[in-house]
């Protein structure tokens, strides 16, 4: 999985949660040294694997609680889409039937960085190379 972090928090003001990683966990951690996942109403970045663990843990609580994602993503410096050209990003959007993000409403063009953020926020977690021929 790509080193992409999602920002989230507990939606209801209850006690903070301290969640153990499942035995044999081999997924991505937002902090490789982290022994447990700590969740509160404070906004924090979590890996997609941690978000899944949090959401599954919350389902088992004896009281109502929700984990809210803010929609903010943190891209790693080595995200492979950051090397993509506008043309490659156009092909990814077309293949996935996403609306084009190249042009800004009112005129002008977005940077490739802005476009990568938009594509990631739309839910694309691929690296572009296997799905789009010719991407290096």
Say if residue 85 is in the same domain as residue 55: no
pLDDT value of position 80: 85
Whether this model's pTM surpasses 0.85: no
Instruction: Choose among 103, 135, 98, 104: nearest CA to 120.
Output: 98
Say if residue 14 is in the same domain as residue 55: yes
pLDDT value of position 117: 86
Say if residue 49 is in the same domain as residue 97: no
Say if residue 87 is in the same domain as residue 53: no
Residue-wise pLDDT tens for the chain (136 aa)?
456 788 999 999 999 999 999 999 999 898 889 999 999 999 999 998 999 999 999 999 999 999 999 888 888 777 888 889 999 999 999 998 999 999 988 888 999 999 988 888 887 877 665 443 333 3
Domain encompassing residue 95 = 80-121
Q: How far apart are CA 132 and CA 17, in angstroms?
A: 40
131 assigned to some structural domain:
no
Say if residue 39 is in the same domain as residue 85: no
pLDDT value of position 110: 92
- Give the other-Cβ count within 10 Å of 106's Cβ: 5
Residue 134 vs residues 88, 91, 119, 126: alpha-carbon distances, Å: 9, 11, 19, 15
Say if residue 99 is in the same domain as residue 71: no
| Overall domain count for the chain | 2
128 assigned to some structural domain:
no
pLDDT value of position 62: 95
**Long-range pairs for 109-116 at CB < 8 Å and ≥24 separation?**
112/82, 112/84, 112/85, 112/86, 113/82, 115/86, 115/89, 116/75, 116/79, 116/81, 116/82, 116/84, 116/89
């Amino acid at each position: 999985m790509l080193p992409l972090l999602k920002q989230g928090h507990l939606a209801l003001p209850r006690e903070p949660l301290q969640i153990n990683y499942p035995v044999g966990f081999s997924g991505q951690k937002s902090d490789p040294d982290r022994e447990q996942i700590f969740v509160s109403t404070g906004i924090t970045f979590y890996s997609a694997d941690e978000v899944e663990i949090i959401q599954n843990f919350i389902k088992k609580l004896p009281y109502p609680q929700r984990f809210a994602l803010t929609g903010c993503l943190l891209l790693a410096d080595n995200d492979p889409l950051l090397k993509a050209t506008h043309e490659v990003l156009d092909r990814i959007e077309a293949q996935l039937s996403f609306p084009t993000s190249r042009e800004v409403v009112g005129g002008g063009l977005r940077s490739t960085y802005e476009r990568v953020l938009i594509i990631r926020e739309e839910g694309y977690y691929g690296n572009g190379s296997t799905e789009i021929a010719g991407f290096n």
